Chain A
Amino acid sequence: MILAIGFFLIWPKYQKFTKLKTDLENKELELRYSEEHFEKNQKLLEDLEEYQDQISKIDLALPDNPSFAAISLINFIGNVSDQNGLKLKNLKSFSITEPKPPAQTPGASAQPQSKVKEILVDFEVSGSYPALKNFINALENSAKLVEVENLTLEIKEKEEMPTFNLKIKTFSY
């Protein structure tokens, strides 16, 4: 009878108890890790609050919505060309390029794909050479990350105002 009690009641109970003890230890470890991870994140966020200005600048340079960024860039080109004495004559094209997947090398760990999209705007402005210089300076010094991809110009003797073809690039997320 004692053997029956030991075998059918105590032994399964003991096994259940040891399993629960192991599970509990694992879960406590998981909880400790989660809590530490959360505390670390919260500390990181508090530290980042001190850099709010810089983060806002990054958000402005790398806006989240590419369509909005493209429209905003075109609007910006219009305003800056006006302010610098250039006339926006023709908006030839604009395109949003998705990021290319990173090149995979065998044996190397997979690189995370960048989410940065390129926005290319091709347009034509007319005006004087100093106005073009000021226009490009203003684009480069703006809070947006704007780069000139291509610039062509041709000054014809009889032409009053030369025309400049510009292809510029900005980025979005």
Chain B
Amino acid sequence: MVIEVIPKREIKGPSWQNYLLYFIIVLLILAIIGYFVLDHFVKKSDQKLKEVEGKIEETKSPEKRALEDRLKSLSAKIDDFTPLLLGHKKSSNLFVFLEENTHPKVFFNKLDFDAKANHIKISGQTDNFFTLGQQLLIFRNSEFVQNLKLSEIKISKEGKVEFTFDFSLTPNLFNFSQ
């Protein structure tokens, strides 16, 4: 039996190989951990996304849509109503105008009033040309009368002077503040 007095030195590989092996093992472990960590975050984000989507759907509930529709229609109605109210005319001011601007000896018997064009055609009769002239002056001096025309002047069987006035009225006559 041979006794080895001097033990043989163990043959070792190069140390860098060991380091590489450790490094690869660590890297592998890290990769596996990283995969699971990422997977956890993906699941968490996915769940949170679903929650947020659910909350967004809640904001589109029929009640909230009904509220929005009601506000929209109300807003549109107010917007449409404003110009109507501002343009609203007080046509009865025509009667006030005629009462204030009719000569006491003039009698009007026919009226055609177009409120859209603020145009009036009014026929009447009076005793003589003098009062007709005065009536013409009254209308001419009115701040509300424009494009005044006197026509169809004739003398009736009863000796009265018949006539027709044709003119436009300024829109401010029909303001509610008048």
Interface residues of A (CB under 8 A from B): 1-2, 5-6, 9-10, 13-14, 16-17, 20-21, 23-24, 27-28, 30-31, 34-35, 37-38, 41-42, 44-45, 48, 55, 58-59, 61-62, 112, 114-116, 133, 136-137, 140, 145, 147-156, 171, 173
The interface residues of chain B lying within 8 Å CB-to-CB of A37 are: 59
Contact A13 B27 (CB under 8 A): no
Interface: B103 (CB within 8 A): no
The interface residues of chain B lying within 8 Å CB-to-CB of A140 are: 90-92
Residues 27 to 82 of chain B near chain A (Cβ within 8 Å): 27-28, 31-32, 34-35, 38-39, 41-42, 45-46, 48-49, 52-53, 55-56, 59-60, 64, 67-68, 70-71, 74, 76-78, 80-81
Interface: B110 (CB within 8 A): yes
The interface residues of chain A lying within 8 Å CB-to-CB of B64 are: 38, 41
Q: Is the interface of B mostly helix, strand, loop or mixed?
A: helix
Interface residues of B (CB under 8 A from A): 24, 27-28, 31-32, 34-35, 38-39, 41-42, 45-46, 48-49, 52-53, 55-56, 59-60, 64, 67-68, 70-71, 74, 76-78, 80-81, 84-85, 88-92, 94-95, 109-116
**Shortest beta-carbon distance from B57 to chain A in Å:** 10
**Shortest beta-carbon distance from A166 to chain B in Å:** 10
Count of inter-chain pairs, beta carbons less than 8 A: 131
The interface residues of chain A lying within 8 Å CB-to-CB of B116 are: 149-150
